[in-house]
Every structure is written in structure tokens, then in C-alpha cells.
Amino acid sequence: MIKATYQQYILNFKQASGTSRGILRTKETYFLMLTKEGKKGIGECGLFRGLSADDRPDYEEKLAWVCDNIHLGLEQLLEELIEFPSIQFGLEQAFLSLEGNHPFELFPSKFSKGEKAISINGLIWMGDKSFMQKQIKDKLAQGFSTIKMKIGAIDFDTELNLLKSIRKEFSSDEIELRVDANGAFSAENALEKLKYLSELDMHSIEQPIKQGQWQEMASLCEKTPLAIALDEELIGVFSSEEKKKCIATIKPQYIILKPSLIGGFKGSNEWIEIASNHKAGNWITSALESNIGLNAIAQWTYTLNNPLPQGLGTGSLFTNNIESPLEVEKGSLKYNPHKDWKLSII
């Protein structure tokens, strides 16, 4: 018989991190622990306040309900939790962790054995010009060949000049540039801004306008000189019918999958299948989980065989992250089998 418990964990940022939604200093998350006949499993329910569809007053109540009803089994619980994507993801991880040969090897592969790495983008947080320039230099020195810059918090001209300064030094063959607007542009001026950005030979822009404006986003995707990737647009879209309608209406060039925000592996796989039917590419991004959730996302990501750089570089942002074998080296995420997990609750 399986027993389940949960525990809250507050992650502290090394430095306040800026997005167009504000400054982040802490990140709340929850660990779901399973035990059965002496074996243990763990998963992370990566609630993201202000962004998750399940940022609701009854979140902990639902976690307690899951622990009381764990006997229902994974499939039935996932159906019951359709409006709680981060708990769905925590459950998927916890069951895989419990059933595997090792609690932190959810998808055995050359990645989990430490033989292969995953190419990732270097993330540049919003801030003043000098702060962003320093981050860019640091990422390039660390060997990243893909840089993702969050834009929309300071004025557009300053951000554009920062991007121009990168392009003056590095061609698109040397450095691939991605930008993430987090919905900061207005529907009226977005196309004009995309034209300016496209002149810098960029890979793509994430979520140029706020989610929920399907017709406006569809128009942008049709006219854009720069590939558009949907991100927040996928959050809170629960049914298969709505997912199909979203992609068929907007026809994006890419979608970005954050398993904690869109129903874990099962929800992400459904989005990938629907998008691929409309010839839309994808990549995977973590959503500020601890190394517990990041490890699960990375191991699953490797099995997808997607050659694009992924967005899995958020593990080093916290002062009190769970010590793990995950390491970032030369623009890639790898699993070092010679390092141990340091987690007292498992």
C-alpha cells in the first residue's frame, strides 16, 4: 500500500530576478513523497505564483486530498487533477521515482548515465543595461552558443541596442539569439517591434503579446518576419479540444513546454503531438523548479531527441537548491554520476 505526504519548500534567489511581471526573490514549491514497502519516491509540484493556472487558495487542500486518496492510482488522480497541472506533474514524477531502480532516475538513458549532455540556452534576466551586459558576457565566457534574453521591462530602444551590441560582436553562426517578451508588447505595436528584432537575425521571440488574444496572435504569426513561440498561451488550456483549437487558430512557428505549468509529461506530450500536426516545432523549458523537478524535466527532454537548445538552465539561480548531480558545462546540462543527491527527506 502506498503512503503519501507533502512538504513545502521555499527557494531563495541568489539575486532578485526581473521579469515583465515583476521582481522575483523567492519561489515556493512543494515536494510530494511516496513510500511503499520500504521504497521511496519523490516528485516536485512546481507551483508558480502569479503564473500557474493552479495558483488557487485551495492548492494545499488539494495536495492533502491527493495524499489521502493516493490509493486511486496515477491515472485516475491525473484525471481528477485536470485543473492542477503542477500537482499532476509532481505525481507523475513521484510514481516514476517510486517504481524505478533509483529514486532520481526516472527515464534511464545516456543522459541519466552521464554519457550525453543536453544543449541549453543561457538565460539573461531583465535589469538595467550594465546588469544585462554583465550577464551576457558571463554567459558567453561560460561557452553558451544560444542566449535567451528577457525583454519588456526596460524601454525597447535600450533592449534593442543591447541586442545590436551582441550582434556587432557575434554573427548568428556564432551566437543564436532568442528573446522572451512575456507578453509585454501591445497587439498594436508588436509587429513593428518584431520587424526591428528580425533585422538582428534572431531565432525567435516568445509570447510577444499577452495570452488569450488568439486572433491578434494568429495575425502576428501570419505576418511576422521572426518566428513566434507560444509560452504563457498554453497555460490554463486543459481539454484536448481547446488545445487543438488554440494551435489551429494561432498557427505558431513554435510552442514552448513547461511541464509544471501544462500538466506534466502527459500534458506536454499532448501539446507536442497537436503542434506537430500543424508543423509547429517545440522546445522544453523549466519553470524555476528546484533540482528535483529540473532533473525530471531534463531526463524526459533527452528522450525526445530534440536537437534545439532547450531552456533548462535555471538550477543555479537559488542559494538553497537541492544539491544534485546536475551540472552546466560549456552551454550544456549534464548529469554527473559521480556526484550524490543531498536530500534528507529521501
Say how many C-beta atoms besides its own lie within 10 A of residue 151's C-beta. Answer: 26
Task: From the candidates 150, 193, 210, 243, give the one annotated as an active-site residue.
Answer: 150
Question: Contact at 8 Å (CB) between 230 and 256?
Answer: yes
Q: Which amino acid is at 133?
A: Q
CB 143 within 8 A of CB 137: no
C-alpha triplet 126, 130, 136: angle, nearest 5°: 65
CA 255, CA 277: separation in Å to the nearest integer?
Answer: 12
Instruction: Determine how many CB atoms are found less than 10 A away from the CB of residue 53.
Output: 18
User: Other CB atoms closer than 10 Å to residue 97's CB: what's the count?
Assistant: 25
How far apart are alpha carbons 328 and 286 in whole angstroms?
14
Catalytic one among 139, 210, 258, 334?
Answer: 258
Q: Nearest Cα to 256, choosing from 226, 289, 225, 234? A: 234
Q: Could you say which DSSP state residue 120 is in?
A: B
Helices (H) and strands (E) in the chain, counts: 10, 13
Kindly give, in sequence order, each residue whose CB lies less than 8 Å from that of residue 95, ignoring residues fewer than 6 positions away. 34, 41, 43, 74
Angstrom distance (rounded) from CA 318 to CA 336: 19
Q: Is 258 designated active site?
A: yes
Residue in the structure block whose three cell numbers are 498561451: 233
Give the CB-side neighbour count of residue 340, counting CA atoms within 13 A: 4
268: closest CA among 299, 303, 234?
A: 234
Whether 129 sits among the annotated catalytic residues: the reply is no
Active-site residues, by number, are 150, 258
